[in-house]
Amino acid sequence: SADASPAAGMTAEILDDYEEGTFDADLVVGGGSITRGSNYTCSYTKIGRVVTVSGFIDVASASATAHFNINGFPFAVDNNTDGHSSSSNAITFHGRNATTAGVYTGYMAPNASVCAIVFHNGSTYQTDWADEIAAGAYWHFTFTYRVS
């Protein structure tokens, strides 16, 4: 049960900062164009300073180059200067125009509400791979990150 008197070292133990909702994420590339499809849904839950976002985004058309970002997260990442990771993520992508197998990961910079998606082919990270996104592609993602 909740107790208004905190334990030693705690400032409070009653949950007073909880929020959930939806948001419109957008796909952004470094060059060319990419259009989000009509099948997308993104939601978030914020508990204290921790936000978890999850979503599904499909691609209607793509003629993209350079880097690829998912923009429009509901809160910016904290200004983390202690060298520790401020976010963790899970990404599934279907519809790539290439045969190279690999893993996708995201990077959320401090003070930003955008996630850069990078591709790792087993030996190197690639940030400029947006030309491999095809129309009809889709993303499932979950990110958990700290906010100020």
pLDDT tier for residue 22 given thresholds of 50, 70 and 90: very high
Note if the pTM is more than 0.75. Answer: yes
Give the separation between CA 22 and CA 5, rounded to whole angstroms.
Answer: 34
Give the separation between CA 11 and CA 3, rounded to whole angstroms.
Answer: 12
pLDDT, residue 87, reads: 73
Question: Could you give the C-alpha distances from 135 to 16, 60, 123, in angstroms and in order?
Answer: 43, 5, 27
pLDDT, residue 39, reads: 84
Residues 72-116: pLDDT tens digits? Answer: 999 998 887 654 556 788 888 887 776 666 788 888 888 888 888
